Structure 1
Amino acid sequence: MTDSNPDTVPQTDPAPRPAPEPQAGPPPAGPPAAGPPPPAAPARPVSPLAELRASAGVPESFAARAAAWLGRDAAARLHADPWRVLLVPGVGPRQADHFARRVLGEAARPDDPRRGAALVTHLLTAAAREGHTVTPAAEVLTALERVQVPEPQRAVEAALDAGDALVLTEEPEFDEAAFEEDAEPPEPEETLGLARWAMAEEAAAEGFQRLTLTAVPLLDDAAVKELRSGLPEDRSLAFTAALRTGVTVLRGVPDDVEDTALAIASAAAARGLRAALVPPTERAAAALAAKAGEGAPPVVALHRALDPRDDPSAAPGAVVFGRGEQRPFELDLVIVPDASGLDVELCAVLVEACPDGAHLVLGGGPGAPPPAGPGRPLDDLEASETVPVVELDAAPPSGPLGTLTAAVRSGELVAVDAPDREVVIVPAANAGEAVHRAVQLVADSIPRALGIAVEDVQVVAPAAGGEAGTAALNAALKARLNPGPGRYAGLDPGDRVVVAAPLRQAAVGETGVVTGAGPHGLDVAFPNGPAVVAPADAARLRHGWAVTVALGRGARRPAVVAVMSEPGDGTVLTRPLVATAFGLAERHLSVVQAAGPALARGVRENGAPERRTRLARLVVP
């Protein structure tokens, strides 16, 4: 079983091989005495999953991935339904059919209802990885025919019966032509969605409605008027909306949104309100807390604020949070300065954790790229026209970094004058040269010329795949910065890692360093402290010297190396993606330009890709 995406799965078995145990007692003084041979050491028990892996003839790394995505009873689940292997990232329909034949023999048939149901879930999961929460039913039926499912409709019904998918009817949008006398009314569109994301959208919509309906002004009119006095009109509107309405969207460049959020929270706290700022990652929280200074309201990373719990009964891959409807925040005002990176599931958890009467402020850049996970809750909330949206006027950009990023946001890729090397453009003839240049910048040029340590340099790229994607970049960076066999789930002590899928110990996008490893798992130093990642969860970490823009957007770095190339895997260079990548740099940006004219064209012509979602309609009462 091979993997189509090298950055999706670990390359080696995460189960460490223990060193031979030392013999008890002192060593013998001379040749061993004659006698019967010592009893053989007891055989190490073989796990059911390893046994299944061996009998099916798939790579060792498969067992770790299956355990991570299917849970502790993965072997039993795969024996009962071998096509469930499609839930493991990197496994496709042909591989799943091969696996089923090895497990079931002649009983593995194309018309098996288990196969049809698993393929429906697989197709909807692939759509979710592209950000969609729903897919037209007709598209699913056509795709099922392509993978030779004899009765596609029966396969859909099997997936519905299993509870993995839901039928979701989308009401048509009416235009002027629909009201003409002889016009046929448009038919509702039948869509399918994974139950997980469909229920998250419904929960988020209900939460936004609840906060809007239960909100009362946090301060009286006189106090709000006093706070607004002397402020520019856009900031004045932001204060008014945040303090008087249940849910508010702030749009503006990141620094402006952050400064306005801090001003609102500080003013509210000074008047006795319980206010908190909730950035997406621990690294971002530390930077905002440093900017806020002493006496500012609390700054808590969202993941920690939601209080992740260790719950053995949780579904594989799910993180259980202690905060929610039964145990909400003890806060009057919750401000998320950068909410554009929240997928719909995390957004639903956040909204449910806000008590009745609390005010929630969600910030984000105009035209920011969508989150790494499914949905686009901030954009959908704005599109619903059910909450106030305040556009913050951008301050004039300062310095080469600000000038370049502002130009990209407006659709232009310009040359900037950078006498102190704040911005450096490094041309590369091809992807291989781009990887070489990036390694050279991280390991030598930036630390030597600018005095920025390797630990403070982050490489970002549009996608994981491709010859200059994060997988290739990380392989080259590891070979240079921390060579090793990747003995523990492809990782070694000293490796920088990034959380690529939900973990209890850290948020998606958080980076850390592996400090140790053993049968207990991986010891990782995250910004909020040390953590132990169990062997079954190690597959949720990736090497983190280079990260995709989607994963890296949660925190800025002193230096950023942006490797711009065309991945060739369907990923398109867009204006929001490039602006976000460039905006992550605090002091220095090196742009390794291997995309040729496609980079300027993407900045000029391509906005964020569309996503099929329901939240904008659901949130309307």
Structure 2
Amino acid sequence: MRAAEAAGARAAAEAAGPARAAREPGPAPRPAAEVPAAGEGLAALTALFGETGVPAPLASRAAARLGPGAAAVLRGDPWRLLAVPGVLPRQADHFARRLLGQDARPDDPRRGRALVAHLLTEAAREGHTVTPAADVVTALERLQVPDPRAAVEAALDEADVLALTEEPAFDAGEDPDEDAALPEPEEILGLARWALAEEAAAEGFQRLTLTAVPLLEDDDVRELRSGLPEDRSLALTAALRTGVSVVRGAPGDIERTALAIASAAAGRGVRAAVAVPTDRAAADLAADGGAGDGPRVTSLHRLLEPRDDPSAAPGAVVFGRGEQRPFELDLVLVTDADGLDVELCAVLAEACADGTHLVLCAHTGAPPPAGPGSPLKDLEASETVPVVALDAAPPDGPLGALTAAVRGGELTPVEAPGREVVIVPAADAGEAVHRTVQLLTDSIPRALGIPPEGVQIVASSPGGEAGATALNAALKARLNPGPGKFAGMDPGDRVVVAAPLPHAAVGETGVVLGGGAHGLDVEFAGGMATLAPADASRLRHGWAVTVGLGRGTPRPAVIAVMSPEGLSRPAVAAAFGLARRHLSIVQAAGPALARAVRDTAAPERRTRLARLVMQ
């Protein structure tokens, strides 16, 4: 009943306006007259944190997550502080005690409700869209919640959390025992935004499959297939005849195939577009393919037409394309589709009109998305759409050979007479950081003629002594020292979008031009954008990025910094596969790197999409 009510509310909201991707959770916006101005709200929040001993730097993050009325929200419910990334339950409890005194009790319904949401949010950060209710209850007991079941009920009453059921799986090859008791369905919990996104994505895939008709006559398809290898012929046929299809292949090959399919279809009058992860990647693919008058090549973000909406909840990105205003396209091919979390996948499916053909293209062995869910893997597991694997072509040079070997589970040396691949050993994290700075500022520009702006550093982990954060700190000190006057950044800093913005997609890199009370001015590949002060918190320094932020945007040169943290075969293959001309591997992981490539796949995720698509 709760899921049905929430789905109904969601449908009503969609009918009233354009598609929204609430990419960061936040409270529902209050009427405009009640919401303080951003500056006033931040000042009130800073004062509140000063009263309660909360570190001042947390104010900007809390304002970005909870909105300009954050101070009032927290005074009414101090445990809402748990919605801010990085805040732990014990810290929220301390804040509540400072604010409420003796009225801050372990059995406060607000505490239990917030802890349930916190646990599910932490699970979502690991990629899960749902969690067994029993696991949540056990975790609440460890957090000394006196009545865990009451806490779950309090969370369900708020409608931000949904109770769902998971039917037991049966082995089709096993003879049922008539006398055996049937297993009970498992109760699972999920945050409403992810549960509803999975339902919307499933409905979208089903709708596109059922409403599809062939885009071209059989004679035209046969003519286009003539002379193509069998795998390309199958991919082209699936794209033109079925509503949803999946194509997998090697880095570079899959993008070229997507562009070739779109170009062939466009040449016969089909309205086609290729959507890639970032504006930078779109410009590179269009240049490589000589798109000219052919199909549109753009970032998925631009294709969805993001726009500013003052009424949106904090952190929400509002798209102009959706169910009420779908794409005016017959064929949409999306590259790096494994990088789509379930929410963005739902927005994409809803933006496709009835009869539009959607082709999801991805690299073989790609890592899962940074956000919750695993839509492409779930869609393949449902066996409801055609899946075409492109034949592996002979590796294209040392870079291709190394990446192919890693995808196959082997870390093998390759011959690189042109310095296409260089291994840089590092005894410890400090040496790894030193070597990385040296490669970016001196070795690669001097030896290969690739300027620093053509080099992307990709770290296996965001944290740690050789993670992306530590690398960026060292690179800023070397390349652009400054006080961090504008939200911790200075003109000349390279930045990356770490959470969606109306102006740019996650993973888009840019350079800070300046800033002030009006916001932060950043030059992205798609042009200059001015970010509101609260939105600046969605940027990170971007000389070094994680695999999740770097994926889908190849660069002339890549420095892959491999530390023991965050290693897996898909992550290593994705990092290596971003290099177009040169790859330097700063090896600070020792034997852990080879073990990860050989033995460590991406962790499994708990999701519902595969079952939903099959219903």
TM-score by length of 1: 0.91
The answer on 1:434 being equivalent to 2:428 is: no
Equivalent residue for 2:19?
none
Equivalent residue for 1:525?
523
Once structures 1 and 2 are overlaid, which stretch shifts more, 260-269 or 326-335? 260-269
Q: What aligned pairs does 1:373-392 form with structure 2 within 5 A after superposition? A: 373-392=371-390
> 1:319 touches 1:503 (CA, 8 Å); kept in 2?
yes
- Give the alignment partner of residue 539 of structure 2, picking from 538, 541, 550: 541
Equivalent residue for 1:511?
509
Equivalent residue for 1:470?
468
Between the aligned partners of 2:449 and 2:217, the Cα distance in structure 1 is: 51
> 2:429 touches 2:588 (CA, 8 Å); kept in 1?
yes
The answer on 1:107 being equivalent to 2:103 is: yes
Aligned AA for 2:614?
V
Equivalent residue for 1:320?
318
Offset, 1:182: 3.3
Between the aligned partners of 2:491 and 2:259, the Cα distance in structure 1 is: 38
Between the aligned partners of 1:166 and 1:304, the Cα distance in structure 2 is: 32
Q: 1:544-567, CA deviations, whole angstroms, 9 ceiling, x for partnerless residues? A: 110000110020011100010112
Would you identify which runs of 4 or more consecutive aligned residues in structure 1 move more than 6 Å?
none
Offset, 1:48: 1.8
SS at match of 1:474: helix
Between the aligned partners of 2:560 and 2:181, the Cα distance in structure 1 is: 51
Between the aligned partners of 1:565 and 1:323, the Cα distance in structure 2 is: 41
The answer on 1:125 being equivalent to 2:121 is: yes
SS at match of 2:214: coil
Q: 1:348-385, CA deviations, whole angstroms, 9 ceiling, x for partnerless residues? A: 10110000001000001122100111111111111110
Offset, 1:514: 0.6
> 1:178 touches 1:185 (CA, 8 Å); kept in 2?
no
Residue 46 and residue 260 in structure 1: after superposition, are their counterparts in 2 closer, same or farther (change >3 A)? closer
- Give the alignment partner of residue 98 of structure 1, picking from 91, 94, 98: 94
The answer on 1:256 being equivalent to 2:260 is: no
TM-score by length of 2: 0.92
Equivalent residue for 1:583?
577
> 1:178 touches 1:184 (CA, 8 Å); kept in 2?
no
Between the aligned partners of 1:257 and 1:444, the Cα distance in structure 2 is: 33
- Give the alignment partner of residue 153 of structure 2, picking from 135, 153, 157: 157
Residue 173 and residue 46 in structure 1: after superposition, are their counterparts in 2 closer, same or farther (change >3 A)? closer
Aligned AA for 1:319?
V
SS at match of 1:296: coil
> 1:369 touches 1:576 (CA, 8 Å); kept in 2?
yes
Between the aligned partners of 1:292 and 1:187, the Cα distance in structure 2 is: 54
Equivalent residue for 1:405?
403
Identity of aligned residues (%): 75
> 1:310 touches 1:504 (CA, 8 Å); kept in 2?
yes
SS at match of 2:487: coil
Aligned AA for 1:512?
G
Equivalent residue for 1:75?
71
The answer on 1:47 being equivalent to 2:48 is: no
Q: 1:88-126, CA deviations, whole angstroms, 9 ceiling, x for partnerless residues? A: 011000110111111112111110000000000001001
Equivalent residue for 2:165?
169
Offset, 1:416: 0.9
Aligned AA for 2:230?
E
Q: What aligned pairs does 1:101-250 form with structure 2 within 5 A after superposition? A: 101-175=97-171, 176-177=173-174, 179-250=176-247
Q: 1:440-487, CA deviations, whole angstroms, 9 ceiling, x for partnerless residues? A: 111111111111111111111111111111111111111111111212
Aligned AA for 1:101?
R
SS at match of 1:487: coil
Aligned AA for 2:185?
P
Q: 1:558-577, CA deviations, whole angstroms, 9 ceiling, x for partnerless residues? A: 1100010112xxx3x11111
Between the aligned partners of 2:295 and 2:333, the Cα distance in structure 1 is: 11
Between the aligned partners of 2:251 and 2:175, the Cα distance in structure 1 is: 41
Equivalent residue for 1:497?
495
Residue 177 and residue 185 in structure 1: after superposition, are their counterparts in 2 closer, same or farther (change >3 A)? farther
Offset, 1:501: 0.9
Aligned AA for 2:326?
P
Aligned AA for 2:582?
H
Equivalent residue for 1:9?
none
Between the aligned partners of 1:247 and 1:433, the Cα distance in structure 2 is: 48
Aligned AA for 1:539?
S
Between the aligned partners of 1:536 and 1:295, the Cα distance in structure 2 is: 40
SS at match of 1:547: strand
SS at match of 2:252: helix
Q: List runs of 5+ in structure 2 lacking aligned partners.
A: 1-39
Aligned AA for 1:85?
L
The answer on 1:617 being equivalent to 2:611 is: yes
Aligned AA for 2:263?
S
The answer on 1:606 being equivalent to 2:600 is: yes
Offset, 1:254: 2.3
SS at match of 1:588: strand
Q: List runs of 5+ in structure 1 lacking aligned partners.
A: 1-43
SS at match of 1:537: helix
Residue 90 and residue 226 in structure 1: after superposition, are their counterparts in 2 closer, same or farther (change >3 A)? same
Equivalent residue for 1:594?
588
Aligned AA for 1:48?
A
SS at match of 1:59: coil
Once structures 1 and 2 are overlaid, which stretch shifts more, 261-270 or 205-214? 261-270
> 1:502 touches 1:508 (CA, 8 Å); kept in 2?
yes
Offset, 1:178: 6.8
SS at match of 1:300: strand
Between the aligned partners of 1:223 and 1:183, the Cα distance in structure 2 is: 57
> 1:137 touches 1:192 (CA, 8 Å); kept in 2?
yes
Between the aligned partners of 1:551 and 1:521, the Cα distance in structure 2 is: 23
Equivalent residue for 2:5?
none
Equivalent residue for 1:24?
none
SS at match of 1:613: coil
Aligned AA for 1:386?
T
Q: 1:2-30, CA deviations, whole angstroms, 9 ceiling, x for partnerless residues? A: xxxxxxxxxxxxxxxxxxxxxxxxxxxxx
Between the aligned partners of 1:224 and 1:541, the Cα distance in structure 2 is: 45
SS at match of 1:516: strand
Offset, 1:186: 2.0
Equivalent residue for 1:480?
478
> C-alpha root-mean-square deviation of aligned residues, in Å?
1.2
Offset, 1:237: 0.7
